[in-house]
Amino acid sequence: MPAAAPAEHRAPPAHILVTVLNSDLDLAFTFLQTAKIESWNDADHCKATLEKVRIALESIRGFQGRIEHVVERNKIHRRVNELEAALNAFPDSN
């Protein structure tokens, strides 16, 4: 029987991953709202904030495939798609 992996190399429990990804999505949606506010008076801050949303999307996509529970994975996937659509609808987001 192989030895267990050291604690620092074990994957977190599935519910923790879902919680973290949902928190990251919440933060990314908040960044998007912040960018909308900043677009009126600080174009540089707006662009920097939109970049944070892009980074969050990339990171979340990288982890969402690790969710084994289909329903939870689909919920995350739906929210990622909603965030991406909102980002793409943002003026000058590309």
pLDDT, position 2: 52
- Domain boundaries, given as residue ranges, for the chain: 13-89
User: What pTM value is reported for the model?
Assistant: 0.82
pLDDT tens, residue by residue, 50-91: 999 999 999 999 999 999 999 999 999 999 999 999 999 988
pLDDT, position 93: 59
pLDDT, position 82: 98
As a whole number of angstroms, the distance between CA 15 and CA 20 comes to 9
pLDDT tens, residue by residue, 6-34: 655 566 677 899 999 999 999 999 999 99
Structure token pair of residue 50 = 């939109």
Count H helices and E strands in the chain, helices first: 3, 0
